Structure 1
Amino acid sequence: MGIIGTIVIGFIVGLIARFLMPGKDKMGFILTTILGIIGAVVGTYIGSALGWYEVGEEAGFLASVVGAMIVLLIARLLMGRRS
């Protein structure tokens, strides 16, 4: 997948993760996209650890959303402690 495809899918995954975990997250397009891309990486590692994916295989859409939700939860926990 090219860089444009990664950005588009990352944005969609980030939006879905933010929708499923509503809250007062002040994220724009860039942070939402980064959330989705990092979520896909986290989903890949979790899926590999659980045996869902082979080494080098990309995460599926659902695993990417779950990974993004985990990243969002961790970010909220860390930001809550800083305030």
Structure 2
Amino acid sequence: MSILLFLIFGFIVGLLARAIMPGEQKLSILMTTLVGVVGSFIGGFVGSLLHGGGDMFQLRTSGIIGSVIGALLILALLGYIGRRRLAH
């Protein structure tokens, strides 16, 4: 997959994760894309481990779902870090 397609896929995954996550996330387009890309790496890695190896960058339905779940985890982590910063 080319880098441009990977960034577009990351942006879409980031948007899906933001739509699923309750509450308001104040993220720019760049941060949304970054959340989606990192979530895709996490989801692709875990998906390839559960699928028995194989190509981590191959487009599968389980990889898409794993990418969104990975992006949700990143969003939750960012929300937790943001709340802790405001509390101090």
TM-score (norm 1): 0.86
Q: Is the 8 A contact 1:44 1:53 kept in 2?
A: no
3-state secondary structure, aligned to 2:39:
helix
- Which shifted more, 25-34 or 12-21? 25-34
Give the direction of change, closer, same or farther, for the CA distance of 1:21–1:53 in structure 2 (3 Å limit): farther
Task: Note the C-alpha offset of 1:5.
Answer: 0.1
One-letter code aligned to 1:81: R
Task: Note the C-alpha offset of 1:55.
Answer: 5.3
Q: Is the 8 A contact 2:11 2:33 kept in 1?
A: yes
> Which of the two has higher C-alpha Rg?
2
One-letter code aligned to 1:2: S
Aligned to 1:22: 22
Deviations 1:4-56 (A, max 9, x none): 1011100000000000003221112111000000001111232244x225154
Q: Cα RMSD over matched residues?
A: 1.6
Q: Which runs of 5+ in 1 are unaligned?
A: none
